[in-house]
């Protein structure tokens, strides 16, 4: 979920791992797509924070370019 205050990812069916990072802690969001991923319009979004290189990986997301742009535009609004 890409919300107004941050990014939240929930992983798992039987047990659930949830990670939430507020925009003020995010340094950037990058896109990773192979040729096959581009053809299928899926990819990975790599969210990095000031503390680590890549804090959060959102895998197999549809329309990753659109969501990466949303995250980066919200980061620009903070600065």
Domain extents for the chain?
6-78
21 and 5 in contact (C-beta within 8 Å)? no
Question: Which residues make beta-bridge pairs with 11?
Answer: 17
With 70 as the cut, is the pLDDT of residue 2 above it?
Answer: yes
Options 3.30.160, 2.30.29, 2.60.120, 3.40.50; CATH for 6-78 is: 2.30.29
72 and 28 in contact (C-beta within 8 Å)? yes
6 and 21 in contact (C-beta within 8 Å)? yes
pLDDT averaged over the chain?
88
> Which of 15-19, 27-31, 41-45, 66-70 is the least confident region?
15-19
DSSP secondary structure string for all residues of 13-51: SSS-EEEEEEGGGEEEEEEE--HHHHHHTEEEEEEEESS
What mean pLDDT do residues 36-42 have? Answer: 94
């Amino acid at each position: 979920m890409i919300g107004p205050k941050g990014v939240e990812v929930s992983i798992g069916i039987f047990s659930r791992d949830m990670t939430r990072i507020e925009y003020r802690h995010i340094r950037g969001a990058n896109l990773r797509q192979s040729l096959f991923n581009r053809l299928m319009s899926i990819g990975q979004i790599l969210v990095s924070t000031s503390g680590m290189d890549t804090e959060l990986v959102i895998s197999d997301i549809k329309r990753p370019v659109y969501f990466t742009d949303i995250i980066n535009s919200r980061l620009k609004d903070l600065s």
